[in-house]
């Protein structure tokens, strides 16, 4: 009566209710293997030719998908982040299709009398087993990619569409045994309301993509398709990790309510687009975006970003064999400044080393790269590299503001005009590093002034990223010598708790709400307020609405995040009186554990989910 509840794992949050669209293209790797193998191949050359022809079709199919993803990424549409994520996955898979090792394995098997299908299956199994046996978690997951390619190849051999695309009626819940990243990206996003899959887990490609597309998803449902008729009414509960088949009575009402709430939230958020980020008691908070290149500017502006709080400039150097010169860099920086139309842009100097290798620098190997040679340490050790970048930012600042006019959000003070361009040093641990970097900045400015490329009166603020606990602990001294702080919460948490969140065995120790982390943030907020400089945050905490009130209470006044998070955080700001945020922060700092803080935050925010629709958005 109440419908059937199937348990899976939560893949992507949200609730969606709609007709099931069962999409089960015959899985080929498992079935049909045995009889195909016993059929001896008559003409090996013909089998190889058939395989090569199938591969060419698969390549073409991938090329179309890559093209599509590239267009979506370039358009900066709502799913731009998803498209970019998808693009990297697709390009890697495209390379695998072309793999000469795969071809050779197939050729050998065919020469030994196998048909192309059996040969493909054998080669794919071999590679998948190879990956599945590796120690590295990321590489183990690549077994998934290999199998996906194998399936597509077998479909191509059968004369079917290699990457079948579901033709979804609008509002559908797609129910499938599995779905590759490519197939998901190829779906009509408008028609897809939710996703229920037999395979996959929270870290699989399809989950990552669903989250960035904002599609509720339940994964790992096993053989659930036996229970789902085509067109049956189903509900995906992406929070609980459950799929309901034909829910009825109270359960249906609850799910429908949850779905309505999710839809109302989307509409409410859309309605906030033109509104300022002001707390009910009048504190203006700056909501800005993290970007990784000029292509991210448009989506950031569309989402209402008031500036760029973190421009990750490393894309200019990572993976490159030669380093970009001053003019090339200046051109990129100028384009971003101009596209932002006078809004502030914080350029973080190259945050390289660690997990971001730069072939051109011949960086030495290290046992512990995250505590090693990276970021500002490399910059100060390669002053030419840093000076070149500093000159490029200064030149861009001068070119973007020929009249030397101050930025739209000029941060007080009369004195010389302030450029919207700001420079931020990553991974600062000591005051000496700041002083040395400032000297390099002054040298760079002097050289440009001498070359007539920079106006005397223009001021480009210099700030630091606070991500090393040592920096937070001496925030008061640092605040006297820098123009702003921006808390890099990801590294700050990792260094404070000594836990690498990508290592699943210790990921549980990576606790953003740990009182130690909050205290360090509080030190920065206090010191910044005393010194009269702005304190921002540009790690993932900045975009987490659960952290917003705490951060405001701790003295953070600029929140930088991916464009997709801006609306939610704005809503949070608009319903959080500063006075209450301060009280919350005070209580949180007195907590002993992250769990206690989380409970405090949950209770603090509970009123909103109930009263949210009533008046949250219109609060004065």
Point out the residues that are catalytic.
Answer: 205, 538
Q: Does residue 361 interact with other proteins by CB under 8 A? A: yes
Closest to other proteins by CB, 18 or 86: 86
Closest to other proteins by CB, 43 or 95: 95
Q: Does residue 99 interact with other proteins by CB under 8 A? A: yes
Show the binding pattern over residues 145-174: x = contacts other proteins (CB under 8 A), - = does not: -x----------------------------
Burial of 104 (0-12, 13-18, 19+ CB in 10 A): exposed
Q: Does residue 366 interact with other proteins by CB under 8 A? A: yes
Q: How far is the CB of 323 from other proteins (least distance, A)?
A: 9
Q: Does residue 363 interact with other proteins by CB under 8 A? A: yes
- Write down the residue that tokens 């100028």 correspond to: 334
CB 376 within 8 A of CB 428: yes
Q: Tell me which H or E stretch contains 531.
A: helix 515-531
Q: How far is the CB of 359 from other proteins (least distance, A)?
A: 4
CB 297 within 8 A of CB 340: yes
Closest to other proteins by CB, 39 or 104: 104
Look at the alpha carbons of 369, 373, 377, 379 in this order and tell me if their dihedral is positive or negative: negative
Q: Measure the CA angle with vertex 606, ends 542 and 559; round to 5°.
A: 15
Q: Tell me which H or E stretch contains 568.
A: helix 566-574
Q: Which two tokens stand for residue 508?
A: 């549980």
Closest to other proteins by CB, 253 or 355: 355
| Helix, strand, coil percent values for the chain (each to nearest 5) | 50, 15, 35
Q: How far is the CB of 140 from other proteins (least distance, A)?
A: 10
E-state strands within 262-336: 286-291, 308-312
* Whole-number Å distance between alpha carbons of 492 and 179: 36
Q: How many residues bind other proteins (CB under 8 A)?
A: 38
Closest to other proteins by CB, 139 or 498: 139
CB 357 within 8 A of CB 395: no
Show the binding pattern over residues 117-146: x = contacts other proteins (CB under 8 A), - = does not: ----------x--xx--xxx-xx--x---x
Q: Which stretch binds other proteins (CB under 8 A): 4-12, 99-107, 378-386, 469-477?
A: 99-107
* Whole-number Å distance between alpha carbons of 72 and 569: 25
Q: Which stretch binds other proteins (CB under 8 A): 26-34, 157-165, 359-367, 400-408?
A: 359-367
Which one of 169, 222, 231, 319 is in contact with other proteins (CB under 8 A)?
319
Q: Which two tokens stand for residue 10?
A: 């939560």
Q: Does residue 102 interact with other proteins by CB under 8 A? A: yes
Closest to other proteins by CB, 168 or 378: 378
C-alpha distances in Å from residue 25, one per residue of 145, 152, 175, 544: 17, 11, 11, 38
Q: Measure the CA angle with vertex 315, ends 312 and 319; round to 5°.
A: 145
Tell me the sheet residues that pair with 458. Answer: 417
Binders in 68-97 for other proteins, by CB under 8 A? 91-92, 95-96
Q: Which stretch binds other proteins (CB under 8 A): 50-58, 316-324, 485-493, 536-544?
A: 316-324
Q: Does residue 505 interact with other proteins by CB under 8 A? A: no
Q: Does residue 362 interact with other proteins by CB under 8 A? A: yes
Q: DSSP secondary structure string, 87-115? A: HHHHHHHHHHHT-HHHHHHHHHHHHTT--
Backbone phi, then psi, for 554, in 5-degree steps?
-85, 0
Q: Which stretch binds other proteins (CB under 8 A): 1-9, 171-179, 255-263, 347-355?
A: 347-355
Q: Which stretch binds other proteins (CB under 8 A): 73-81, 170-178, 360-368, 542-550?
A: 360-368
Residues near other proteins (CB under 8 A) are: 91-92, 95-96, 99-102, 104, 127, 130-131, 134-136, 138-139, 142, 146, 319-322, 353-357, 359-367, 369
């Amino acid at each position: 009566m109440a419908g059937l509840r199937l348990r899976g794992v939560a893949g992507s949050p949200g609730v969606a209710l709609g007709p099931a669209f069962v999409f089960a293209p015959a899985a080929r790797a498992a079935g049909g293997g045995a009889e195909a193998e016993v059929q001896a191949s008559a003409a090996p050359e013909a089998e190889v030719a058939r395989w090569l022809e199938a591969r060419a079709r698969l390549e073409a199919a991938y090329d179309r998908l890559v093209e599509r993803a590239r267009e979506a990424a370039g358009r900066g549409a709502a799913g731009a982040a998803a498209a970019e994520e998808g693009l990297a996955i697709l390009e890697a898979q495209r390379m695998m299709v072309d793999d000469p090792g795969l071809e050779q394995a197939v050729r050998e098997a065919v020469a030994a009398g196998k048909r192309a299908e059996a040969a493909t299956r054998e080669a794919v199994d071999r590679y998948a087993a190879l990956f599945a046996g590796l120690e590295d978690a990321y590489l183990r997951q690549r077994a998934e990619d290999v199998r996906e390619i194998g399936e597509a190849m077998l479909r191509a051999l059968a004369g079917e569409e290699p990457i079948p695309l579901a033709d979804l009626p609008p509002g559908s819940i797609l129910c499938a045994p599995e779905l590759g990243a490519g197939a998901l990206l190829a779906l009509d996003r408008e028609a897809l309301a939710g996703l229920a899959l037999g395979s996959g887990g929270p870290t699989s490609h399809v989950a990552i993509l669903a989250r960035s597309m904002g599609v509720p998803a339940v994964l790992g449902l096993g053989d659930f398709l036996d229970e789902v008729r085509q067109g049956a009414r189903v509900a995906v509960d992406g929070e609980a990790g459950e799929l309901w088949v034909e829910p009825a009575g109270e359960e249906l009402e609850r799910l429908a309510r949850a779905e309505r709430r999710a839809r109302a939230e989307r509409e409410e958020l859309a309605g906030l687009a033109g509104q300022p980020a002001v707390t009910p008691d009048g504190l203006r908070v700056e909501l800005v975006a993290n970007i990784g290149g000029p292509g991210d500017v448009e989506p950031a502006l569309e989402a209402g970003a008031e500036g760029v709080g973190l421009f990750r400039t490393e894309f200019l150097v990572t993976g490159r064999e030669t380093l970009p010169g001053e003019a090339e860099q200046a051109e990129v920086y100028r384009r971003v400044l101009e596209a932002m139309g006078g809004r502030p842009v914080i350029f973080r100097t190259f945050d390289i080393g660690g997990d971001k290798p730069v072939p051109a620098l011949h960086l030495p190997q290290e046992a512990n790269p995250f505590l090693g040679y990276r970021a500002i340490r490399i910059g100060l050790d390669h002053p030419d590299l840093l000076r070149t970048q500093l000159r490029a930012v200064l030149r861009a600042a001068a070119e973007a503001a020929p009249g030397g006019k101050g930025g739209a959000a000029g941060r007080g003070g009369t004195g010389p005009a302030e450029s919207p361009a700001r420079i931020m040093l990553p991974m600062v641990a000591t005051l000496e590093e700041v002083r040395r970097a400032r000297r390099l900045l002054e040298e760079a400015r002097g050289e440009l002034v001498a070359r007539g490329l920079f106006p005397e009166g223009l001021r480009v603020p210099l700030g630091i990223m606070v991500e090393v606990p040592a920096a937070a602990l001496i925030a008061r001294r640092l605040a006297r010598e820098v123009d702003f702080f921006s808390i890099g919460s990801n590294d700050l948490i990792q260094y404070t708790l000594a836990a690498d969140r990508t290592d699943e065995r210790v990921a549980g120790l990576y606790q953003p709400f740990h009182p130690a982390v909050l205290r360090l943030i509080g030190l920065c907020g206090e010191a910044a307020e005393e010194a009269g400089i702005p304190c921002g945050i540009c790690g993932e905490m900045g975009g987490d609405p659960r952290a917003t009130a705490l951060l405001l209470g701790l003295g953070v006044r600029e929140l930088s995040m991916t464009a997709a998070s801006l609306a939610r955080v704005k809503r949070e700001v608009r319903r959080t009186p500063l006075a209450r945020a301060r009280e919350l922060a005070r209580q949180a700092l007195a907590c002993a554990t992250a769990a206690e803080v989380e409970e405090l935050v949950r209770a603090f925010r509970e009123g909103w989910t109930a009263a949210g629709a009533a008046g949250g958005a219109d609060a004065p």
